[in-house]
């Protein structure tokens, strides 16, 4: 017989049978993070069909973050880029009462960070082509594409530097923020779920510099033929009207993923 | 509140809240598949530490398949490449008695097919750079790398065409083969598993042409600094001695993923 | 002093000082080529500004070929994809009188074949993201993008198989076709050219199977911010109206690049 | 006839017929450059066969620079990575007397900067897979690969920060440095050269911060089957013994490509 035994005090990811790690901590630091953020108000009616019933949308505002992660410790100091789309929600369960950004979807340009994000914490990460943003003078430009099909275009024009005092204030608030997900693992056979529950994966950040910006964003609905597993997602986002740009900014600093505080919400 | 409701008769993958599909079938056809296969005998002792206790290794033979999948129906006719490493096992549980190849690990060069393979069927797929194999006269050459670090080199020299009658015989056998996996989904907080069980994901194939080959294979153990989440896997495989090449062949044909017959093994 | 000497009977590409090859032949075979072709009539006035004065446009028809090259001998049996845009022209010089397709532009998804194409034969190859085309039933779909920005979308719906006799006829015609380029190498300092002349790079093909198709094509003009060195090219092509689709077809077969017959046109 | 005319005061790159730019300047700034540099002494005899006779090697020291270029102005603020290998030489011609680093070879991970580098200035740029370097604490790690085949591994361990005064001194020296190349463009037909001459492409840099390091480097000789157009280059470099590491450092700052001062050397 095989001789691989699962250890109760270990943490594994597939393939588990090559061995896991004794559980100590899952906190991890990203030492060099550039965050391009655009926020806009849309219609509540346009978002609600895509948010589970257990969550209350506190404000119909979408936050789209284009993030360049560098010096990622758990990836041996490596890099990856992502696009995250959040909407602010409240979860009031039997046990947990939590407010934070609900992760509608995340696209990442590498496989490695996608897997634990989905499986361990319910963050709905997908793959896409996401080159580094271009930075020309005060202009930032960025895109995301699925196999040659552009579905997102972003730009930010930098304004003034945020003063140090305001950054200190931002850092006090951002020491720990709830980031809500929804972990869904299907049954192997037939319809229905093996796991189906809300999660939170708290995040911290230490901003070193920031600039207020003016931003633009454009979603493009892909067809099934262009992106068979993502067309419906790009279509849903493209159909949410941009009523008003409410904020845009660029920050540089450090992120801390507080995996130790991640938990199933009940 | 959000208005997204999970439907009992649907099948979802994260992000589930953008909608799933009414469950009809999960069988799917790959119309154009080139399969470069190398098999070799290694030491039983070298494999057993990496096979769960519930599985019996029936023969200490590793099968490494380098596969170019084209005309993949569920991906709108798209393509992807993979490297799969299997060892033959038996599972004798309370309910199920199954023999087939156990998927030690699979590397794929696109994110899209990795996600359902892991989450729905327990096939331990990871990401890698896998270019199309080169085909020069009768020689095939292929590599797999993790972010610029080569960890696998394969070559096959084609011999004679397999006669039609022998292919017919192969096709009778390969109509349905069990492919065993092990689905492991960790708890969100702390060590331990939310899901932890054997699976089978039966596959069929219809070979159109085949050639016997002589093959070579070389694994390279990567360091944690080169491949933080995969170093231990490449090291384990590189440490399994190649005692004898037992077979090598190239086939071209069609694959049928029999998702309807996938199930948890008990 | 350095000891590298240029040999008169050798052929070099930069870096030349690592050595070249004694000139024997530059013919080379591509053993497995899939060619998706769309042809359309546009306005003569829209093309003429982009064709050098020495060339006469014989018909204002653009041919766009999306080509998947496999088993490329000079690349050790490797693969690459390209998009080529041609217009039929005549060159009547003092010495040469040649008719063929003039290469307005070619995009390729690998660097290796771009370099000799430009430098040795004046074919204006550029880089782009060009995934394998998707093939779903009788539909082909393909795109080209520059760093996440789609600039070309193609589709072809396959009709009937071309009969063997017609393919024989095609193969007689396609044994040697002139493919005209224009080699331009700038001065190192200041404006003006070090080399500036028409070329031909004859090509042969042996088609094994073909299907008539109905095709669609859409060019998208990129901005300087999206594609600083290619925006003007995509804009020029996007501005050429599609007056009538004149042909579309898919072929599979072999290509022979007749480098030995390539020459400067005078 | 075509209506495209070459303008004498313009500068073009293929495809020239889509238009060039009135020549004003070809200087360009790279605003954010991270430079990982390793220098080592090798045997003069091992280098000389790969340096043209017109150049005198002043010191048998190879400088390998792994460079992450960001905020590249002429690429609309985009990014690319490169590996450059230089050896210090003197050129004493009839007109020009120049000392600087001779560019043995450069690998870049994007096509766009490769083309003008080769064609306009004779810098022998090739394509490779070059991910961003990983930065973990004080350790930098980087690789270069050709289609899945690693040919270079670098690491640098950071020591102390270079003091501001020393950086000022470095910046005085590095305002303009000759970077020598050798432009070779073959004849279209037959052996021999259409262009064959030494060049210089002066570079400036403004370092903002620097650290002395200890470095390691390993070249791997690829085979023709792995890298048909680059095997001989990797083999030549792998055969140059590392007699002594003479320096290693990391700098961050700005580069200025002094295209206006580039010229053919006579």
Chain A residues whose CB is inside 8 A of the D137 CB are: 77
In this predicted structure, the answer to whether residue C21 has a pLDDT above a threshold of 90 is no
CB of A87 less than 8 A from some CB of C? no
In this predicted structure, the answer to whether residue A147 has a pLDDT above a threshold of 90 is yes
Calculate what percentage of chain A has a pLDDT beyond 90: 97
Contact A199, A121 (CB under 8 A): yes
CA angle D156, D157, D161 (to 5 degrees): 110
Predicted pLDDT at B45: 97
Chain A residues whose CB is inside 8 A of the B85 CB are: none
Average pLDDT over residues C10-34: 94
Contact B76 A185 (CB under 8 A): no
Cα dihedral: A42, A48, A52, A53 (round 10)? 130
Contact A135 D73 (CB under 8 A): no
Distance from CA of B147 to the nearest CA of D (A): 7
- Between CA D27 and CA D259 the distance in angstroms is 5
Contact C210, C164 (CB under 8 A): no
In this predicted structure, the answer to whether residue A164 has a pLDDT above a threshold of 90 is yes
Average pLDDT over residues C14-38: 94
- Between CA A105 and CA B15 the distance in angstroms is 6
Helix spans in chain C (H): 44-47, 114-121, 164-173, 231-238
CB of C71 less than 8 A from some CB of B? yes
Predicted pLDDT at A239: 98
Q: Predicted confidence band at C246 (pLDDT cuts at 50, 70, 90)?
A: very high
Q: What is the pLDDT of residues C76-92, one digit of tens each?
A: 999 999 999 999 999 99
Query: How many other C-beta atoms are found inside a 10 Å radius of the C-beta of residue A60?
Result: 18
Mean pLDDT of chain B: 97
Q: Predicted confidence band at B22 (pLDDT cuts at 50, 70, 90)?
A: confident
Predicted pLDDT at A264: 98
- Between CA C109 and CA C78 the distance in angstroms is 13
Calculate what percentage of chain C has a pLDDT beyond 70: 100
Q: Which of C32, C75, C134 sits opposite B76 (nearest CB)?
A: C134
Q: Which of A130, A134, A148 sits opposite C131 (nearest CB)?
A: A148
Contact C188 D264 (CB under 8 A): yes
Among C150, A121, C112, C17, residue whose Cα is nearest residue D102 = C17
DSSP structure class, residue D131: P
Interface residue of B36, B74, B79, B111 to substitute, partner C, most C CBs within 10 Å: B79
Q: What is the pLDDT of residues B38-49, one digit of tens each?
A: 999 999 999 999
Chain A residues whose CB is inside 8 A of the C131 CB are: 147-148
CB of B90 less than 8 A from some CB of A? no
Interface residue of D77, D79, D113, D130 to substitute, partner A, most A CBs within 10 Å: D77
Q: Which of D16, D104, D232 sits opposite C184 (nearest CB)?
A: D16
Distance from CA of D80 to the nearest CA of A (A): 9
C neighbour chains, 3+ CB pairs within 8 Å = A, B, D
Predicted pLDDT at B25: 87
Q: Is the CA virtual torsion C181, C187, C188, C191 positive or negative? A: negative
Among C96, B115, D57, residue whose Cα is nearest residue A230 = B115
In this predicted structure, the answer to whether residue B21 has a pLDDT above a threshold of 90 is no
Predicted pLDDT at A169: 95
Interface residue of D34, D110, D112, D135 to substitute, partner A, most A CBs within 10 Å: D135
Chain C residues whose CB is inside 8 A of the D78 CB are: 147, 228
The tokens for A144 are 């995301």
Q: Predicted confidence band at D175 (pLDDT cuts at 50, 70, 90)?
A: very high
Per-residue HEC secondary structure of A181-194 comes to EEEEEECCCCCCEE
Average pLDDT over residues C22-43: 95
Distance from CA of A13 to the nearest CA of B (A): 7
The tokens for A35 are 């965050």
Contact D84, C15 (CB under 8 A): no
Mean pLDDT of chain C: 97
DSSP structure class, residue D230: T
In this predicted structure, the answer to whether residue A21 has a pLDDT above a threshold of 90 is no
Q: Predicted confidence band at D25 (pLDDT cuts at 50, 70, 90)?
A: confident
How many Cα neighbours within 13 Å face the side chain of C94? 2
Mean pLDDT of chain D: 97
CB of B129 less than 8 A from some CB of D? yes
Report the chain B residue with the minimal C-alpha distance to residue C74.
B136
Predicted pLDDT at C23: 86
Q: Predicted confidence band at D99 (pLDDT cuts at 50, 70, 90)?
A: very high
Predicted pLDDT at A25: 87
The tokens for A31 are 């030492």
Predicted pLDDT at D26: 87
Q: Which residues pair with D107 in a beta bridge?
A: D83, D126
Average pLDDT over residues A107-118: 98
Average pLDDT over residues D81-101: 98
How many Cα neighbours within 13 Å face the side chain of C31? 13
Predicted pLDDT at B24: 83
Backbone φ and ψ for B66, nearest 5 degrees, come out as -100, 115
In this predicted structure, the answer to whether residue B205 has a pLDDT above a threshold of 90 is yes
Predicted pLDDT at D24: 83
Calculate what percentage of chain D has a pLDDT beyond 90: 97
Q: Predicted confidence band at C40 (pLDDT cuts at 50, 70, 90)?
A: very high
A neighbour chains, 3+ CB pairs within 8 Å = B, C, D
* CA-to-CA dists, residue A118 to A111, B108, B186, D1, angstroms: 11, 17, 11, 60
Chain A residues whose CB is inside 8 A of the B48 CB are: 1-4
Interface residue of C139, C150, C153 to substitute, partner A, most A CBs within 10 Å: C150
CB of A176 less than 8 A from some CB of D? no
Mean pLDDT of chain A: 97
Distance from CA of A167 to the nearest CA of B (A): 31
DSSP string of C10-34, one letter each residue: EE--SSGGG--EE-S--EEEEEEEE
Average pLDDT over residues D64-84: 98
Q: What is the pLDDT of residues B175-192, one digit of tens each?
A: 999 999 999 999 999 999
Contact C143 A148 (CB under 8 A): yes
- Between CA D66 and CA D85 the distance in angstroms is 9
Among C128, C185, C202, residue whose Cα is nearest residue C14 = C185
Residues 6+ apart with CB under 8 A from B188: A120, A121, A122, A183, A199, A262, A263, A264, B194
CB of C11 less than 8 A from some CB of B? no
- Between CA D261 and CA C189 the distance in angstroms is 7
Contact B77 C134 (CB under 8 A): yes
CB of A144 less than 8 A from some CB of C? yes
Chain A residues whose CB is inside 8 A of the B76 CB are: 224-226, 228
Contact C211, C250 (CB under 8 A): yes
Contact C118 D147 (CB under 8 A): no
Contact D149 B147 (CB under 8 A): no
Q: What is the pLDDT of residues D137-171, one digit of tens each?
A: 999 999 999 999 999 999 999 999 999 999 999 99
The ipTM of this complex is 0.97
Among D61, D109, D59, D44, residue whose Cα is nearest residue D248 = D61
Q: What is the pLDDT of residues D226-248, one digit of tens each?
A: 999 999 999 999 999 999 999 99
Calculate what percentage of chain A has a pLDDT beyond 70: 100
| Burial profile B9-46: b = 16 or more Cβ within 10 angstroms, e = fewer | ebbbbbbbbbebeebeebbeebbbbbbbbbbbebeeeb
Please count the residue pairs, one from chain B and one from chain C, whose beta carbons lie less than 8 angstroms apart: 48
In this predicted structure, the answer to whether residue C152 has a pLDDT above a threshold of 90 is yes
- Between CA A120 and CA A259 the distance in angstroms is 9
Average pLDDT over residues C235-243: 98
Residue C142 three-state SS: strand
Contact B144 D139 (CB under 8 A): no
Residues 6+ apart with CB under 8 A from C247: C37, C38, C39
Q: Which residues pair with B200 in a beta bridge?
A: B180, B263
DSSP string of D10-51, one letter each residue: EE--SSGGG--EE-S--EEEEEEEEEEEEEEE--HHHHGGGS
In this predicted structure, the answer to whether residue C2 has a pLDDT above a threshold of 90 is yes
Contact A128, A107 (CB under 8 A): yes
Contact D147 B139 (CB under 8 A): no
Do β-strands A97-108 and A125-127 pair in parallel, antiparallel, or remain unpaired? Answer: parallel
Q: What is the pLDDT of residues A29-57, one digit of tens each?
A: 999 999 999 999 999 999 999 999 999 99
Q: What is the pLDDT of residues B91-138, one digit of tens each?
A: 999 999 999 999 999 999 999 999 999 999 999 999 999 999 999 999
In this predicted structure, the answer to whether residue A26 has a pLDDT above a threshold of 90 is no
CB of A157 less than 8 A from some CB of D? no
DSSP E strands: which ranges in chain C?
10-11, 21-22, 27-41, 55-57, 61-72, 78-92, 97-108, 125-127, 134-136, 139-146, 149-161, 179-186, 193-200, 203-219, 244-258, 263-264
CB of C139 less than 8 A from some CB of A? yes
Q: What is the pLDDT of residues A53-85, one digit of tens each?
A: 999 999 999 999 999 999 999 999 999 999 999
End-to-end CA distance of chain A: 39
Contact B19, B6 (CB under 8 A): no
Q: What pTM did the predictor assign?
A: 0.97
Residue A101 three-state SS: strand
Calculate what percentage of chain B has a pLDDT beyond 90: 97
In this predicted structure, the answer to whether residue D206 has a pLDDT above a threshold of 90 is yes
Cis ω before B15 (30° cut-off from 0) = yes
Q: What is the pLDDT of residues C57-80, one digit of tens each?
A: 999 999 999 999 999 999 999 999
């Amino acid at each position: 017989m095989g001789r691989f035994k699962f250890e109760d005090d270990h943490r594994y990811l597939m393939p588990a049978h090559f061995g896991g790690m004794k559980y100590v901590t899952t906190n991890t630091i990203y030492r060099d993070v550039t965050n391009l953020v655009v926020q806009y108000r849309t219609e509540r009616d346009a978002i609600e069909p895509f948010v589970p019933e257990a969550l209350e949308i506190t404000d119909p505002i979408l936050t789209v973050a284009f993030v360049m992660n560098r010096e990622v410790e758990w990836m041996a100091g490596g890099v990856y880029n992502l696009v995250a789309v959040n909407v602010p929600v409240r979860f009031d369960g039997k046990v947990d009462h939590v407010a934070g950004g609900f992760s509608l979807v995340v696209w990442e340009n590498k496989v490695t960070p996608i897997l634990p994000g989905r499986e361990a914490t319910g963050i709905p990460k997908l793959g896409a082509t996401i080159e580094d943003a271009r930075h020309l003078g005060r202009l930032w430009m960025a895109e995301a594409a699925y196999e040659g099909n552009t579905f997102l275009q972003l730009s930010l024009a930098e304004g003034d530097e945020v003063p140090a005092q305001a950054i200190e204030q931002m850092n006090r608030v951002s020491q720990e923020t709830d980031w809500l997900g929804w972990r869904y693992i299907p049954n192997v056979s037939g319809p229905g779920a093996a796991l189906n529950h809300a999660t939170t994966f708290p995040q911290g950040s230490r901003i070193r510099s920031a600039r207020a910006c003016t931003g633009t964003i454009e979603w493009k609905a892909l067809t099934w033929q262009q992106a068979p597993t993502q067309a419906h997602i790009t279509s849903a986002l493209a159909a949410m009207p941009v009523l008003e740009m409410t904020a845009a900014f660029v920050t540089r600093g450090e992120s801390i993923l507080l995996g130790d505080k991640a938990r199933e919400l009940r």
